[in-house]
Structure 1
C-alpha cells in the first residue's frame, strides 16, 4: 500500500521542482527525501523519477500519482475537519500581504480574539506569490492570495479559494495623465519576482512601452513617499493608496487587483478555518472605502 507521507513528498516535488526545496520546506534532509521517494518507487512498482546528474524530473506515472495524491490529501483534510472539536482552540495560522495586515487582518484578529479566546492566532506577513507553498506545507491555514488583470493566478489543485476583495489600481504621479504617457518616466516597482513588479511591467507593456524601473520597493507607503519626492511614478492598488500624500495624484486605471482567501482543499469545514474566513469577510465589509 502506498504511504501517504511519501505521496506528500512527491506532490511537493511536483510543485517545488527540486529535492532540496522539498527538504527545506518540510524540515527534512535532502537525503531523507531521496530515500523516501525511492521507497515510494518500490511501493508503486514503477519509476517515478528520472535522474540526470543532480536534477530530477517526474515520469508520466509520477504525474498520475500526484493527481491521486491531491485527492487523497484533500479527503484526509476533510476527515480531520469533520472530527475537529466544535470548541475553537489551538493554533490558527494566517498569512497576508502587508497592506492587508494593516487594513483587513488587524480588525479581523480583534474579532477572532474576542469571540474565540481559545484560538492561538499566528500571523505571517508574506508576498502572496509565496502563500500557496506555505499552505501546502502546512505552515499556514488560511492565506490571502492575489491576482491582477495582467497577472492571472494559475489554479492550484491542492487549494480552494473564494473571493474576498476587488480593488482599483491607480497610477501614482505628481500630475494627472494616462498611463501611456509615462513611457519616458522613471518607475518605482516591487522587487523583481513579486506580483506587484510583474503587474507593473505587464501593464506598461500593454500600454505600449517597457518601464524604466529606477527604484524597487515593496511597501506602498515607501512607494508613495518616493513618488512624492519626485523620484518616479508607480502603480498602486486601492488598499496601498490609503493615506497617500496630498501632493500625489491618483489616476484610476481599468486594471484591478483581486484578493482571494485560500486554504488547503478539505479544510473549509474546520471550525477555526471557517471562523477566520467569516472574520476576514466581515472586516472587508466594514472597511471604509
Structure 2
C-alpha cells in the first residue's frame, strides 16, 4: 500500500518545484526527501521523477499520482472532520490573516470566540495571501483570509477550498476631490506621484495594472504595505494611492476617498476536505458575523 506521508512529499514537490523547498517546508533534510521519493518509486514500480539539469520534475506518472494524492489527502481531511465531536468545541484554530483584516474581521471574531466558545482558542499569524496555499497544505495553518482584485485573480492551486466572506470597495485616496467621473479618476492622475505596495504583493500588482489600464506607468514615490501609513502620506498632499475598504478604518483629516468601479474580494481558505470541522466552522461563523458589519 502506498505510504500517505510519501504521497504528501510528492504533492509538495509538484507545488514547490524543488526538493530543497519541500525539505524546508516539511522540516526534513533534502537527502531524506530524496530517499522517501525514491522509496515511493519503488513502491509504485513507476518512474515518478525526472532530472532536468539541477532541477527535478514530475514525470507523467508522477503528475498522475500527485493528482490522486490531492484527492487522498482531501478524503483524510473529510474523515477527520466527520469524526470530530461537534457537541464540544475545543482546541486551537490557527488562522492566517493579512494586515488590513485584523481590526475589522479578525479581532471581532476572536472576541466572539472567547465569549461564546470557552474551550476553543484562536491563534493568529500575519501572512501575505501569496504564501497562504503552502502554509495550509503543510498544516501550518487551519484557515486563512485571502483576497483577490478584479484585475488580479487569485491562484491558490489544488488542495485548497475557499468561500466568500466580503466584497470591498477600492478607493482612490488624495487630498483633492476629483472633477472627473470615477472611471476616469486614475487616468487624470497620470502625472501624480503614487504610493504602491511592495513588489510581489497583490496590492502592488493591482495598483500597477490599474495605472497601466489607464494608459501610463505610475511614478512611484513610496512603497508601503501598511495602509494606515499610506493614508498619512496621502494627507501630506505629495502622493496618491489606491486603498481597499478594509484599509480605511482610520482616515486622516484632509484625505478624500473616491470609490472606484473596482472591487477586492476577501475569502476564507482552508485545506480541501477540512471545511466541515466544527472548530473551523465556529471561527468562520464569527468571521462572517464580523463581515456583516462592513456592508
Q: TM-score per shorter chain, which class?
A: over 0.9
Q: Does 1:93 align with 2:100?
A: no
Question: Given the alignment, which residue of 267, 277, 282 partners 2:284?
Answer: 277
Structure 2: how far apart are the matches of 1:286 and 1:198? 28
Segments of structure 1 that go 5 or more residues without pairing to the other structure are none
Q: In structure 2, what is the equivalent of residue 26 of structure 1? A: 26
Counterpart residue number, 1:201: 208
Q: How do 1:1-289 and structure 2 match up within 5 A?
A: 1-86=1-86, 87-154=88-155, 156-177=157-178, 178-287=185-294
Runs of 4+ with >3 A deviation: none
TM score, norm. by length of structure 1? 0.96
TM-aligned CA deviation for residue 54 of structure 1: 2.5
For 2:191 and 2:21, locate their aligned partners in 1 and report how far apart those are by CA, in whole Å.
Answer: 40
2: CA distance between counterparts of 1:264 and 1:71?
Answer: 11
Gaps of 5+ in 2: 179-184
Find the residue that maps to 2:200 and give its secondary structure: coil
Q: TM-score, normalised by structure 2?
A: 0.94
Worse-superposed segment, 46-55 or 7-16: 46-55
How far the C-alpha of 1:155 sits from its partner, in A, is 5.1
SS of the residue corresponding to residue 247 of structure 1 reads coil
Shift of 1:187: 1.2
Q: CA deviation at 1:52?
A: 2.8
- Between the aligned partners of 1:107 and 1:41, the Cα distance in structure 2 is 49
Aligned residues: 288
Aligned partners of 2:44, 2:189: CA distance in 1, in Å? 57
Match of 2:79, SS? helix
Q: Report how far residue 278 of structure 1 moved.
A: 0.6
Task: Tell me the alpha carbon deviations over residues 209-262 of structure 1, each in whole angstroms, 9 at most, x when there is no partner.
Answer: 111222111110011111112341111001101211121111111110000111
